[in-house]
Amino acid sequence: MTTDVINPSTGAVLTSVPSLGLEETDAAIERAHRAFPAWRAVAPGERARLLRRFAAVVDEHLDELADLEVRNAGHTIGNARWEAGNVRDVLNYYAGAPERLIGKQIPVPGGLDVTFHEPLGVVGIIVPWNFPMPIAGWGFGPALAAGNTVVLKPAELTPLTAIRLGELALEAGIPEGVFQVVPGKGSVVGQRFVTHPAVRKVCFTGSTDVGKSIMARCADQVKRVTLELGGKSANIVFADADLEKAAASAPGSVFDNAGQDCCARSRLLVQESVYDKFLALLEPAVRAFRVQDPAQDTAEMGPLISASHRETVASYVDGADVAFRGSAPDGDGWWFPPTVLLAHGAGDRHWREEVFGPVLSVLPFRDEEEAVRLANDTEYGLSGSLWTRDVGRALRVSRAVETGALSVNSHSSVRYWTPFGGMKQSGLGRELGPDALLGFTDVKNVFLATGD
């Protein structure tokens, strides 16, 4: 059985890939299970060397991987190059972990007490279609470094870079069975990661509803989970901010990757005393945002991932109060123009729900207290930004907004050396940085009696 892979810029079939069934998924998990004892026993320095070699091989194929992502996911070439480089950087970062995965010596009477960080076993990683390359690396990098083996299921719409990364791992010398890519349906492959007893942890990035289902089913086996789920992040602009800079950067914070980003700052809160001025600054920035063939170096945004998703995004705009829109190419492909909607209250559908497209909702606020209340009035808490020149306000609001990653006077969400993850229904656990590594281990406590 195979699945067609479509180029979202043209609607044409790129290729077809296998869609593996239950038997093949079980076989992959069994290979990972058999490979685990030998992989965990690899000397820390040697495991580090293999991960550095994997990073080097990825680096040698950056252009190839970026080109695959442009054609398969519709990412701009600039973004795709960064994403391939991020896989390389994550592998290099966690290549430093095996030799530094140190425990503790805890003072106790009558002997010596020490702790070890033991690998879990087989880790199942379920990757979404919006950022197929980097999110895969955020899972398999620390998992492999900690001594686990990995089975990875790419999204059905965007499997090509994950499949290629699996091939490059073997080329780099990662042993057979240690890192496998298993393409197929979520209802088959992903579901089996959840139910198979040999899989000791599941990492899932995707919708909150699916994440809840995975978490509930993992509970049957007390199986560990890391969940990075939906988002409806706020971009809060106070009257004392650098309004020109805030307005110029706002389009990129929500329209990057065509808004198909859980971290998109899709709720724009502007202090009412500068609301009209800010919209006047925002409009030319939105109209100038370049929606082009993603293979062009000048492109800032490409198409949406599929025709059905374009229909979903359009449903949020139909009947809404459109402030202004950018432009998008005509013809083949699943294009959608950057769109700014005026919210007339916190109950508006486009204000409350995750659109996952290039749609920005704008709402004024009176003061700091109302800004925090409106920002927190959501089930999500993944990312966000605030703009102010007042350092005290920046600290107060940063602490008060319920979100896992927040940036002041910028739109940063992800650095591979700092933790990333959500609060509330945006997720559970942390990826990247030093925090992620220990999520792929169990702490073992050992007491050695000395006969004192």
Q: Across 96-189, where does the E strand assignment appear?
A: 105-106, 111-119, 122-126, 149-153, 179-181
Q: Which of 262, 263, 402, 431 is catalytic?
A: 262
Tell me the pLDDT tens digit for each residue of 366-403. 999 999 999 999 999 999 999 999 999 999 999 999 99
How many whole angstroms separate alpha carbon 398 and alpha carbon 391?
Answer: 10
Q: Going edge to edge, which strands form the sheet with 111-119?
A: 105-106, 111-119, 441-449
**Maximum Cα interatomic distance, the chain, rounded to a whole number of Å:** 82
Is 218 assigned a catalytic role? Answer: no
pLDDT 10s digit of each residue in the chain, 452 long? 999 999 999 999 999 999 999 999 999 999 999 999 999 999 999 999 999 999 999 999 999 999 999 999 999 999 999 999 999 999 999 999 999 999 999 999 999 999 999 999 999 999 999 999 999 999 999 999 999 999 999 999 999 999 999 999 999 999 999 999 999 999 999 999 999 999 999 999 999 999 999 999 999 999 999 999 999 999 999 999 999 999 999 999 999 999 999 999 999 999 999 999 999 999 999 999 999 999 999 999 999 999 999 999 999 999 999 999 999 999 899 999 999 999 999 999 999 999 999 999 999 999 999 999 999 999 999 999 999 999 999 999 999 999 999 999 999 989 999 999 999 999 999 999 999 999 999 999 999 999 86
pTM of the predicted model as reported, rounded to 2 decimal places: 0.97
- CA 86 to mean position of chain CA atoms: 12
State the amino acid at position 380 in one-letter form. Y
Amino acid 452: pLDDT? 67
Q: Going edge to edge, which strands form the sheet with 427-428?
A: 179-181, 149-153, 122-126, 199-205, 224-228, 427-428
Q: Across 288-439, where does the E strand assignment appear?
A: 322-325, 339-342, 359-365, 384-387, 407-408, 427-428
Q: Pairing state of beta strands 105-106 and 111-119?
A: antiparallel
CB contact set of 259 (below 8 Å; sequence gap of 6+): 266, 313, 355, 356, 357, 358, 359
Q: Which of 154, 128, 127, 159 lies closest to 4 in space, CA to CA?
A: 159
Amino acid 331: pLDDT? 86
Cα distances from 98 to residues 19, 170, 206, in angstroms, run 34, 20, 29
How many whole angstroms separate alpha carbon 410 and alpha carbon 408?
Answer: 5
How many whole angstroms separate alpha carbon 300 and alpha carbon 329?
Answer: 13
Q: Which of 131, 133, 98 lies closest to 437 in space, CA to CA?
A: 98
Give the tokens for residue 334. Answer: 């699943």
Q: Which of 69, 83, 228, 354 is catalytic?
A: 228
Contact in structure between 172 and 57 (CB atoms under 8 Å)? yes
Give the tokens for residue 340. Answer: 């700014």
Is 228 assigned a catalytic role? Answer: yes
46, HSE (Cβ side, Cα atoms, 13 Å)? 9
Q: Which of 236, 178, 186, 233 lies closest to 210 in space, CA to CA?
A: 186
Amino acid 451: pLDDT? 86
State the amino acid at position 20 in one-letter form. L
